[in-house]
Amino acid sequence: MKRFLLLALLVAGCATTQSLPSEDRSRTYSLDYDLVFDATVQALAEEGFAIIDAEKDEGIINTDYRAEGAIFAFLSGGPTRMKVSALITRADNGVHVLLNFDLQDANPSVESGNLYNARTMSPRRARRFYREIFGDIEELLFI
């Protein structure tokens, strides 16, 4: 039971933008699966995210953390980093892309053992990040 609770807390701690409705975090394209997958990988790379896992057969893309700008550091009181995961699936009406962002702030308390803490983005700011990435994907898809 303790392991289950710990796992639930860890998963919840990483879910910094998943409270948004899936409509804000996903898009469906009536295009070829390979084209959409490749455009998603390229868009994330062009945004400065290092791709650490791109499994086309499974539809999974994971990035490494990217250091965020000075405004995040100023607002949070220290360095901030973000990573993105994408799940791309074939659907009856096209290819479905679901993105998730994980935003973390540096932890000033070394005693906790965590170097970074999950941070919740405001819904407004999170929507802006999703729109930006989906805009990049759609530009590559010529939509």
Cβ(119)–Cβ(107) below 8 Å: no
Specify whether the CB–CB gap between 137 and 97 falls below 8 A: yes
pLDDT digits (tens, 9 = 90+) for 13-70: 344 455 788 889 999 999 999 999 999 999 999 999 999 999 999 999 999 988 876 4
- What's residue 103's pLDDT? 81
Q: pLDDT for 82-127, tens place per residue?
A: 899 999 999 999 999 999 988 877 765 655 555 666 667 788 888 9
Token pair 């973390």 in the structure block, residue: 104
Q: Quick check: pTM over 0.85?
A: no
Query: Residue 5 pLDDT > 70, yes or no?
Result: no
Domain count for the chain:
1
- Residue 73, CB half-sphere, CA atoms under 13 Å: how many? 8
Show the domain range for 127: 2-140
Residue 94 per-residue DSSP state: E
Using alpha carbons only, what angle is made at residue 32 by residues 24 and 49, rounded to the nearest 5 degrees?
55
Place of tokens 């791109």: 54
Task: Report the CATH number at residue 115.
Answer: 3.30.530.50
